[in-house]
Amino acid sequence: MNVLLEVEDLAYTYPDGTEALRGVTFSVAEGERVALLGPNGAGKTTLLLALIGIVRAQRGEVRVGGVSLSPETYPEVRRRIGIVFQDPDDQLFMPTVWRDVAFGPANLGLPDEEVEARTREALAAVDMDEQAGRAPHHLSGGEARRAAIATVLSMRPDVIVLDEPTSNLDPVGRRELARLLTTVGTTQIVVTHDLPFALQLCPRSIVLNAGRVAADGPTPRLLSDTDLMAANRLELPYGFDPGTIAGR
């Protein structure tokens, strides 16, 4: 598989002296779904923001499709990496779902026909065609999450990064989201504390702790490693056995 995203020796220290990233290195191939796991304070959010230059790393490099992240390439890299934030309200602010999903392509200056085509395509991909005319604040939690994903899909990114996508979802919404994400062909990085969801969705996981990559490998193997789990403050729900997931 072709390597799509490369992160090499990424380091960032906050002004108060907190070392959030300490030489993070990994790569993601085209079409992969990779979970990013780790305890609170591990550096996951800082890494997410560093991928698109909102946080400017003091050392290291990010490359997407061979394009190196720099102030000159921010627009290109941010087009290639789409981030779905934890709270859908951060992405849904227009009067209707349709206008939210169309907002990004319209701002690219695309012709009206192209904006409409991308909007229809993105809404269909998340099963939100019939909700296009609704106000975002009238959506359920699961619907709002899908609409937020559609706003990213309409930009046709190479990589989608989802920050805690199961937050505030009920079991049905969580199951529907997992089904949706498995049908979206785009390369995905899923930042999550929901370990069963990571196991269900992502064949591979990266464990981040104290700003470093603590482990990188098949999700079932990592979640079955009790010493690794304990050392990185990761814990499965009581009685949950990673080996019980069908197909694993």
- Report the alpha-carbon distance of residue 164 to residue 130 in Å, rounded: 26
- Report the alpha-carbon distance of residue 147 to residue 207 in Å, rounded: 29
Domain count, the chain: 1
- CB–CB of 50/36 below 8 Å? no
- Report the alpha-carbon distance of residue 125 to residue 160 in Å, rounded: 14
Mean pLDDT of the chain: 93
| Beta strand pairing call for 33-37 and 187-191 | parallel
User: pLDDT by residue (tens digit) across 165-200?
Assistant: 999 888 888 888 999 999 987 899 999 999 999 999
Helix or strand holding residue 162 (H, E)? strand 159-163
State pTM to two decimals.
Answer: 0.92
- Report the alpha-carbon distance of residue 48 to residue 196 in Å, rounded: 21
Crossing angle of the two packed helices 112-125 and 97-107, in degrees rounded to 10: 130
User: pLDDT by residue (tens digit) across 14-67?
Assistant: 999 999 999 999 999 999 999 999 999 999 999 999 999 999 999 999 999 999
> What is residue 186's predicted lDDT score, i.e. its pLDDT?
87
Domain extent at residue 202: 3-244
- Here the CATH number for the domain that contains residue 151 is 3.40.50.300
- CB–CB of 69/63 below 8 Å? yes
Residue 157 has pLDDT above 80, yes or no: yes
Which position has the token pair 């780790």? Answer: 38
**Tokens coding 76:** 């290109």
Average pLDDT of span 197-222? 96
> What is residue 237's predicted lDDT score, i.e. its pLDDT?
84
Give 179's contacts (C-beta < 8 A, 6+ positions apart).
none
Among left, alpha and beta (phi > 0; psi -120 to 50; other), residue 95 is alpha
- Report the alpha-carbon distance of residue 155 to residue 190 in Å, rounded: 18
> What is residue 236's predicted lDDT score, i.e. its pLDDT?
87
